[in-house]
Amino acid sequence: MCALHEEQHAQITYESLLAGNKEWVAKTLEENPDFFNKLAKGQKPPVLWIGCSDSRVPANQITNTNPGDIFVLRNIANVVVHTDMSMLSVLDYAVNVLGVEHVIVCGHYGCGGVEAALGNKQFGIIDNWLRAIKDTYRLHHDEMERITDHKERCNRLVELNVAESVYNLSKTSIVQNKWANGAKLSVHGWVYSIETGLITDLGLSSAGPDNLSPVFRVSEASKVAE
């Protein structure tokens, strides 16, 4: 960590967070006196963001959007698995209540969770969570084994982890039911570079079940009320 970042982090205290909140409110009201009144009336974000918990990847800042624009779920290494009830609950609420039109899985290069999944060191209960990423490695074993540079291998697994998460979103009955009802809903896969600040679209966008193997398709998707 550079000296500047160390100095900035040293200045962050419990009290400074509360003081910062007051400064932010004052500045926001100065720019837009009705900002919080409008925000308090409810939310109708067009986007659900599934991202990594890494503190360097804040959804609103890196997309230059405002509070209320993006509904956010974050976990270690932006993993989407069908056994995660928290993810499924957020997805269901975002899709069927908020009516989002885009679900974006955004990973980032240099992800500590992905790098940990490449190794054999035990970290604790998180090892069970990282198993999903190890399974992704197994699915792409031959490709991954051909990459000898460690950084390149990590970066490629970051991309494959996003791709698998996007595919897993498409497998859910939540998304497939919405598609069956003719709703406008797309899933996407992005990767953010902390080194450049830029987002790369991995070209994984899907607005229907065509990319799914027949075994994963819900043949009689129930009609969800709009």
Backbone Cα Rg of the chain:
20
Annotated catalytic residue, options 2, 5, 9, 56: 56
Query: Residues with Cβ < 8 Å from 100, sequence gap 6 or more?
Result: 45, 46, 47, 48, 71, 94, 185
State the helix-helix crossing angle for 85-93 and 173-180, rounded to 10 degrees: 20
Cα 113 from Cα 133, distance rounded (Å): 9
Q: Please, are residues 114 and 158 in contact by the beta-carbon 8 Å criterion?
A: yes
146 is catalytic: no
Residue type, 99: G
Annotated catalytic residue, options 2, 5, 9, 54: 54
Annotated catalytic residue, options 52, 153, 156, 188: 52
SS3 19: helix
> How would you label 35-52 residue by residue, b for 16+ Cβ within 10 Å and e otherwise?
beeeeeeeeebebbbbbb
Q: How many CB atoms lie within 10 A of CB 133?
A: 25
111 is catalytic: yes
52 is catalytic: yes
Residue type, 101: E
Annotated catalytic residue, options 102, 108, 153, 156: 108
106 is catalytic: no
Annotated catalytic residue, options 102, 106, 111, 154: 111
Q: Which residues are catalytic?
A: 52, 54, 56, 108, 111
